Chain A
């Protein structure tokens, strides 16, 4: 088992600021409590992999961070700015949450590209209309990004004509177009055919290598071990175990994590 190598991409912890702080996050759907007090810190440059069985709350946690799901209670701080919440957990300041969301680009399991727009239009949509970048500048940048994910020749194609892997790479280009401080990946390869997973992971791996801060909910254990510098294992809405990948994967402490790792291996 390799041990020390996996921790390498981690930047020096104390020299960089906190990117995301989640404190005592609770989320219930009706009477079902999905998150039972989760706390998580990610510094700038961290790649945090969130693993766990289905129903463990890992996607819900990610979606609470940008308030796609309204937390029931807890505290979320992005780049040192705490998100103002009402008593019921909903964001208290719409402008604040919208501003913060532009810095937290999300990549979805189902890609969620806008189907009535071409890839280029998808990528420039948020820069032009939300961030008010000039159209020409946004287009130039979008072409660079599409080239980077290997879709430069598909700029004028509509998403429905592309494979899942291509759509997901386009979705990553769309996320990069806002120059996000943190990228949230919600099971980015779970909806893909097995032979298409690799091309998407390659793109994400490159982003991790260039020091992007990422939260990555994934079922790809090998990949998590390779790119993450911190792994969080969720079980039934609580963090059961966390630590550097070498520890979590190489020397799991909790019986549940051992069982989980043996079931997905």
Chain B
């Protein structure tokens, strides 16, 4: 192994990337874990906003619909980097104002929580539209059948609408998840030590920019590939009962 690395001229890179000091591999992995934590949280938070928002947009009153329209329009209009700066500073500022008003001092806000909240708000706007489209794609007869048999609205949502819309929503949600993993990199701007910031620190300390950014790129790629496998599985499950377009119907 070492011999191969030596002959390829990669011995130095391997040493820089090793998990134990003086290698920076552990820092990169710690950054990756933070990135994934935020991506997971933000995606989940976004889904929650998306589900309620989509139902609100479809079935809510005029005021709720207008508010949601403003939310999705504004969030999707403003560049994410700008949103992150706004939401991060506004959010932390509001919390600190509230805490000092209540007589507590400044509180330190966890980077992970702040990241989830900021990216979750962004993800939510896109999720609303993905889920709204998916809900509308469910054949109305399926929901009507549930109503006709006396299913209460919430049960109809869980037992009929959500399972039936999953096959329409999965491709869009897979996109959103991948965007979430990469948007975590934008949090570097507010000094949160996710993968990109860790990489930059490692690179600037060692001057091995190429090595570290290539390694970070590879880590993002691995995440994407694994996500692809997971989402393919989810999609297969969500499409159960629907004949594939490729195989012959029997």
Q: Which residues of A contact B (CB under 8 A)?
A: 66, 68, 94, 97-102, 104-106, 108, 110-118, 125-126, 129-130, 158-161, 178
Q: How far is the CA of A114 from the CA of B140 in the complex (A)?
A: 11
Contact among A105, A112, A129 with B144 in the assembled complex (CB-CB below 8 Å): A112
Interface residues of B (CB under 8 A from A): 139, 141-142, 144-152, 155, 159-160, 163-164, 166-167, 238, 240-243, 249-250
Residue from the list A94, A101, A116, A117 in contact with B149, Cβ < 8 A:
A101
Give A110 to B144 CA distance when docked, in angstroms. Answer: 11
Determine the chain A residues whose CB is within 8 A of the CB of B250 once the complex forms.
161
Q: Are A108 and B155 in contact (CB under 8 A)?
A: no
Please name all residues of chain A whose beta carbon is closer than 8 Å to the beta carbon of B238 when the two chains form the complex: 116
Q: Which residues of B contact A129 (CB under 8 A)?
A: 151, 155, 159
B contact face: mostly helix, strand, loop, or mixed: helix
**Bound-complex Cα distance A29 to B167 (A):** 33
Q: How far is the CB of A98 from chain B (nearest CB, A)?
A: 4
Residue pair A68, B155 in contact (C-beta under 8 Å): no
Which of chain B's residues have a CB closer than 8 A to the CB of A113?
145
Q: Which residues in B have their C-beta under 8 angstroms from that of A99?
A: 150
**Distance in angstroms between the alpha carbons of A68 and B150 in the assembled complex:** 10
CA distance A160 to B240 in the complex (A): 10
Q: Let me know if B150 and A106 touch, CB within 8 A.
A: no
B144 touching A114, Cβ below 8 Å: no
A121 to B203, CA, bound (A): 57
Verify B149–A114 contact, CB threshold 8 A. no
Q: Contacts A98-B151, A105-B148, A160-B242 known; list 20 others, CB within 8 Å.
A: A94-B152, A99-B150, A106-B148, A106-B149, A108-B144, A110-B141, A111-B141, A112-B142, A114-B142, A114-B146, A114-B160, A115-B241, A115-B242, A116-B167, A116-B242, A118-B241, A126-B150, A158-B242, A160-B241, A161-B249
Selected contact of B240 from candidates A66, A158, A178, CB within 8 Å: A158
In the complex, the chain A residue whose C-beta lies closest to that of B242 is: A160
Q: A108 CA to B152 CA in the complex, in Å?
A: 19
Q: A104 to chain B: which residues have CB within 8 Å?
A: 148
| A residues in contact with B249, CB < 8 Å | 160-161
Measured in the bound complex, the distance between the Cα atoms of B219 and A26 in whole Å is 66
Q: Give the distance in Å from the alpha carbon of A62 to the alpha carbon of B152 in the complex.
A: 21
Q: Which residues of A contact B160 (CB under 8 A)?
A: 114
List residues of chain B with CB within 8 A of the CB of A178.
149
Q: 7 A-B pairs, CB-CB below 8 angstroms?
A: A68-B144, A101-B150, A114-B163, A116-B240, A125-B159, A126-B151, A160-B249
A115–B144 touching, CB < 8 Å: no
User: B150, A130: Cβ atoms under 8 Å?
Assistant: yes
Which of B148, B151, B159, B243 makes the CB contact (< 8 A) with A68? B148
Residue of B whose beta carbon sits closest to that of A98? B150
* Residue among A98, A114, A178 facing the most chain B CB atoms (10 A cut-off): A114
Contact residues in B for A126 (Cβ distance below 8 Å): 149-151
Q: Determine how close the nearest CB of chain A comes to the CB of B155; give it in whole angstroms.
A: 6
Q: Say whether, besides A129-B155, A158-B241, A114 and B145 are in contact (CB < 8 Å).
A: yes
Residues of B within 8 A of A98 (CB): 150-152
Docked pose: A158 CA to B238 CA in angstroms: 13
Given the interface pairs A101-B147, A105-B149, the reply to whether A160 lies near B243 with Cβ below 8 Å is yes
Q: Are A102 and B141 in contact (CB under 8 A)?
A: no
- In whole Å, how far is B244's beta carbon from the nearest beta carbon of chain A? 10
Query: Contacts A116-B163, A117-B241, A125-B159 given: A102-B150 contact, CB under 8 Å?
Result: yes
Report whether A108 and B164 are in contact in the complex, using a CB–CB cutoff of 8 Å.
no
The 3 A-B pairs of least Cβ separation, nearest first, read: A158-B241, A101-B150, A112-B141
Q: Are B149 and A161 in contact (CB under 8 A)?
A: no
Q: Return chain A residues, CB-CB under 8 Å to B145.
A: 106, 108, 112-114
Closest to B151 in A: A130
Q: Find chain A residues with CB under 8 A from B139 CB.
A: 112, 115
Contacts of B142 in A (CB 8 A): 112, 114-115
B164 touches A101 (CB 8 A): no
**Which residues on the A side are within 8 Å of B144 (C-beta)?**
68, 108, 112
CB distance from A128 to the nearest CB of B (A): 10
B225 CB to nearest A CB, Å: 28
B149 x A115 contact (CB < 8 A): no
Q: Contact at B241–A130, with CB atoms within 8 Å?
A: no
Nearest CB in chain B to that of A115: its residue: B241
Q: Is the pair B150, A116 in contact by a Cβ cutoff of 8 Å?
A: no
Residues of A within 8 A of B167 (CB): 116
Complex interface: chain A residues within 8 A of B148 (CB): 66, 68, 101, 104-106, 108
